Amino acid sequence: MRKTFAPLEALRWTFFVLVVVVFNFPLLFTAATSLKTTPQITAKVWLFAPTLEHYLKIFTDRSLDFPRYLLNSISISLGGTLIAVAVTLPAAYAIVRFGLGRGNLLPLITNLRAVPLIIFAIPFYLMFQTVGLLDTRTGLAIIAAVINVPLALILLVGFIQDFPPEIEEAARVDGAGTLGVFRHIIVPLAIPVLVAVSILSFIYSWNEYLFGLILTTKNAIPVTVGSALFITSWGVRWGEIAAAMTVSALPPLVLGMFGYRYLARALVAGAVKG
C-alpha cells in the first residue's frame, strides 16, 4: 500500500517545496542580497560568506534616516491598533448582547473593505492640512485605526458571541450595571482575544502604504514609504536597500506566524461554514 503511493507522495512534496521557494523568492533574494558585500551583489554570486555591514550601516549612518522610519512605523501601528480596539470592543459587546446595530451598523462596517481607500485620501489630506495633522504620527495612527476597525469588529463580535452569558448574569444579580459588567467582566475576559486582534491590526497598520505616501513628507514617513524612497535617493546602494527592506518586512512576518489562524477566521467570517 505504502509503496504504491510513494511516487505520488514524492511528487506532492517536490511540488510543495517548489511552490514555497517560488512564492517566497523575493524574501529569500532580498535577505540574501542584504547579507552580501556590494561586489558580491553585482557579481550575482549564489554562495557567499554573510556580512552584516549593510545592517550596521542603515542603523548608524545618520544621513539614511532609517531608524526614524522604523520608529514611525512602530508608533503608528501601536497607536492605530490601540484606537481601533478601544472603539470596537465596547461596540462589539453592545452588538452581541443587546443587538444594537446588528442589522445595519455591523454589516456596513465589516464590508467597508469594498470601498477603495483612495476615495478618502483627498478629504483626509484636506482635513489633516486644516487641523495640522499632516506629516504627523498621530495623523497616520488615526488612519491606521480607520483601516483596522472593520477587522477588529468582525473578530471581537465573533469572540464575544462565544462568551457564556451566565457570568454576566451572575454579576447582574449582584447589582452590576451594563457598564460595570463591561468593565469588570467583558474586558478581562477579552484579553486573549485582544492579543489576536492586536496582532492582525498591527500587521495591517504596518503594511499600509497609500496614506503614508500622501500624508507624510519628512517627519512621519513609515518604513513602507521610506524603503521605496531608498531606491531613488540611494542610487545603487543595493545592500542597504535590501537590509532596510528585510528589517521592515520582519515584524509582520514574525507576528503573522502567530496571527494567521485568526486571520482565516476573520477573513472568512462564517462564509466557509455555509
Partner 1 sequence: MRLSEQRIPQVRPRWKRLEPAVWLLVAPLLLFLLLTLGFPLLANLFYSLTDLSFRNLRSPDLTGFGNFASALRDPVFWGGLGFSLRFALAATFFEVLLGLLMALAFQPILERHRPLLALLLLPMMVAPALLGTMYRLILNDFIGVVPDLAQRLGLFVNFLTPPLVVPTLVAIEVLQWTPFALLILYTALQAIPGELHEAAKVDGANSWQQLRFVTLPLLVPALAITALIRFIDSFRVFDHIMVLTGGGPGTSTTSISIYIYLQFFRNDELGTAIAASLFLLLLALVPLFISMRVALREWGRA
Task: Quote the CA–CA distance of 69 and 67 in Å, as a whole number.
Answer: 6
Contact between 82 and partner 1 (CB under 8 A)?
no
Task: Quote the CA–CA distance of 52 and 147 in Å, as a whole number.
Answer: 36
**Among the candidate windows 48-56, 57-65, 132-140, 172-180, which touches partner 1 by CB under 8 A?**
172-180
Contact between 193 and partner 1 (CB under 8 A)?
no
Cβ closest to partner 1, residue 63 vs residue 232: 232
Evaluate whether 141 touches 133 at the Cβ level (below 8 Å).
Answer: no
Contact between 201 and partner 1 (CB under 8 A)?
no
Cα torsion for 65, 68, 70, 73, to the nearest 10°?
-130
Number of residues that bind partner 1 (CB under 8 A): 105
The residue from 113, 132, 138, 184 that contacts partner 1 (CB under 8 A) is 113
At 30, list the grid cell.
532580498
* Region 42-71 residues binding partner 1, contact defined as CB under 8 A: 42, 44
Q: Percent helix, strand and coil across the chain, each rounded to 5?
A: 80, 0, 20
- Minimal distance, residue 39 CB to partner 1, in Å: 11
Contact between 189 and partner 1 (CB under 8 A)?
no
* Look-up of cell digits 495612527: 141
Contact between 114 and partner 1 (CB under 8 A)?
yes
* Region 204-223 residues binding partner 1, contact defined as CB under 8 A: 206-210, 213-214, 223
